[in-house]
Amino acid sequence: MRAVVPGSFDPITNGHVDVIRRARAIFDEVVVAVGANSSKKYLFEPTERLELVRAATADIEGVTADPLTGLLTDFCRAHGADAIVKGARGAVDFDFEVGMARMNHSLTGIETVILPAAAQWSYVSSTLVREIATLGGDATPYVPAVVARRLATRRAHD
Ligand code: PNS
């Protein structure tokens, strides 16, 4: 069975990697869909977000990543996915995910598995990581090493 783990990953955090690993423990193959939420403004370009997702998951066998440009349900069909997996840190995330899960199910019948974020990473979000990094703080504990290096490089050039 194959699952798609979608998100905007701006940037990928340790919490995302944990969800991807746990999705891979349930499914034989995981395709990470790196997309964009049209109402958000991003720090990293789509190609860089995809590159960082690939680098951060390179050591997890059975995990690949591709760009998501259209509808998630079309991506799932094109990739032969059996289900979508999303992480939820709490009630706000869960409510949002349930709405999208129901819409995606209505569109094509695909099911969504919602995994509770690991307690260890429940307070970590890409938004807070971006804020810490852009205001000169150290986001190293919350992101894969490749992302921490990239954030440091960006800061050096800003
Ligand atoms: O990191 P995010 O903000 O949770 O990612 C949201 C994303 C990119 C997964 C979501 O916006 C999405 O699925 N976009 C693709 C377009 C789509 O299918 N929209 C309808 C969803 S019901």
Per-residue pLDDT in tens (0 to 9) along the chain, 158 residues: 999 999 999 999 999 999 999 999 999 999 999 998 777 788 999 999 999 999 999 999 999 999 999 999 999 999 999 999 999 999 999 999 999 999 999 999 999 999 999 999 999 999 999 999 999 999 999 999 999 999 998 876 66
Name the burial class of residue 66, with classes exposed (0-12), middle (13-18) and buried (19+) by CB atoms within 10 angstroms of its CB.
middle
Which atom of ligand 1 has the smallest separation from the CA of 96?
4
Whether 16 is catalytic: yes
Ligand 1: does its nearest atom lie under 6 Å from the Cβ of 120?
no
Q: Hey, which residues does 115 pair with through a beta bridge?
A: 87
Ligand 1: does its nearest atom lie under 6 Å from the Cβ of 7?
yes
User: CA–CA separation, 81 vs 35, rounded Å?
Assistant: 16
Domain 2-157 in this protein, CATH class:
alpha beta
- Tell me the helices (H) and strands (E) count for the chain, helix number first: 6, 5
pTM score of the predicted model = 0.95
Domain ranges of the chain: 2-157
